[in-house]
Amino acid sequence: MNTQPTPSRRTVLAAAGIATAGLVAAACGRSDDTTSAQKSKQPTVKVTYTPALDDPAAPNPTAKVEVKASGGTLNPDVKLVNASGKAVTGTLSDDRTTFTVNEVLGYGTTYTWQGSAVGQDRLTVPVKGSFTTLDPKQQLNVVVNIADGQEVGIAAPLILKFDGTVDDKEAVERALTLTTTPPAEGSWAWLGEDNGSRVHWRSKEYLTPGTKIHMSAKLYGLDHGGGAYGAADVTSDYTVGRSQIVKADAPSHQIVVVRDGSTLMTLPCSYGEGDVDRNVTRSGIHVVSEKYEDFYMSNPAAGYFNVHERWAVRISNNGEFIHANPETVGVQGSSNVTNGCINLSLDNAQQYFTTAIYGDPVEVTGTRIDLSEADGDIFDWTYDWDTWKSMSAIKGTPQSASVPATPSGAPSSVSAPN
């Protein structure tokens, strides 16, 4: 009978080895399939950006800027960097789902997101992308006339002077906040263009001595109209000092300086001669705006140029000062002969000069021409309260004064040369 040969032990082991190898190969094949599936799996974490990176509109630099993770968390390496690679300040929320920028961005600047987020499936996604902020056609700067910590008189208006025209006056005025302690009624009013717009704040009545005033103008990023945006926010914190009022009755040929309700000094003087309109000291509430120990004044219409005057206190931008004039001492107290200023002796002028501060009212009476917008920069107190409020832009088109801060033909004055 035929019998099949019995496999040797080596043959059996070899066959077993072949089978084992097959099993290993099959196991390796299943492992590769699992890895590929994991790699193709979509991450659970989703990242959203504010502003949206696909928004074609350039965001305002004051707008909210943040990145959020849903279905996962942001890693601590998340940041927003400027064009120079410097990270802007920001805060990662406690649950690590939101990173919020808390630094105001710049105009016309490109910012780039960097970092990563991780999902609940432990898969990571990059935080990336860029946006460029709004680049205005024009940036308007503003100058505030009262400095922080300054002490002012009871009639002091606060003036914001822009270096260009504000078309959207209502939007700008709504960005202005002014508070007084104790409370005092006041209003903003837009006056005539003077190489740029200007808005004044004035109280209804003279302010109470000791009043503290805080003004905040949130102008950066604000559309001023006509393609112009605010260049910066501004603030001013100041205090009303003592009450000092100059009672200046032209027919009396003197001024009476009243401090906190009591007469501080009575000084003989000479007012405008009044023979022609330009020589009339204007009646009305003037406001002390500046003062100089030495001034050189020119008035071509009156025939004098670069005349050295001492202890000059400006009360209007039409050329009116309270100042020393030795040439009129002989008639001070008895006759009015000036070109519109209020003349004092050297000693009296210096005595008054040392007491005057910005915002002191000078109440001129008894002349034939009233102070008006034609007389220059600070004529705020010539308006009754209802008219002044009508010059605000909040309630519609402001009833604006139409003349610049410096009238044409006004006497010029320059500080003494070095």
Tokens of residue 169, six digits: 């006056």
Known catalytic residue at 341: yes
The H or E element containing residue 88 is: none
- Give the residue from 362, 359, 340 showing the smallest Cα distance to 286: 362
With beta carbons less than 8 A apart as the criterion, state whether 189 and 388 touch.
Answer: yes
What residues have CB less than 8 Å from 305, skipping those under 6 apart? Answer: 298
Buried b (16+ CB within 10 A) or exposed e, 132-152: ebbebeebbebebbbeeebeb
Exactly one of 200, 224, 286, 323 is catalytic; name it.
323
The two tokens of residue 256 are 């009476």
Quick one: how many helices (H) and strands (E) in the chain?
4, 31
Which residue type sits at 103? E
Structure tokens at 235: 């603030």
Task: Round to whole Å and give the CA distance between 324 and 309.
Answer: 6
> What's the chain's Rg over C-alpha atoms?
38
Distance from C-alpha of 368 to C-alpha of 282, rounded to nearest angstrom: 8
Report the side by side order of strands in the sheet with 176-181: 151-152, 234-240, 212-217, 176-181
Q: Residue 28: exposed, middle, or buried by beta-carbon count in 10 A (0-12, 13-18, 19+)?
A: exposed
Catalytic residue among 224, 269, 286, 341: 341
269 is catalytic: no
| Three-state DSSP state, 363 | strand
Residue 74 and residue 317: Cα distance in Å, rounded?
61
H-helix or E-strand spanning residue 327: none
Contact yes or no for 99/93 (Cβ under 8 A): yes
Q: How far apart (Å, rounded) are the C-alpha atoms in residues 145 and 244?
A: 20
Compute φ and ψ for 369, nearest 5 degrees. -125, 130
How far is the C-alpha of 127 from the C-alpha of 53, rounded, in Å?
Answer: 12
Active site residues per annotation: 323, 341
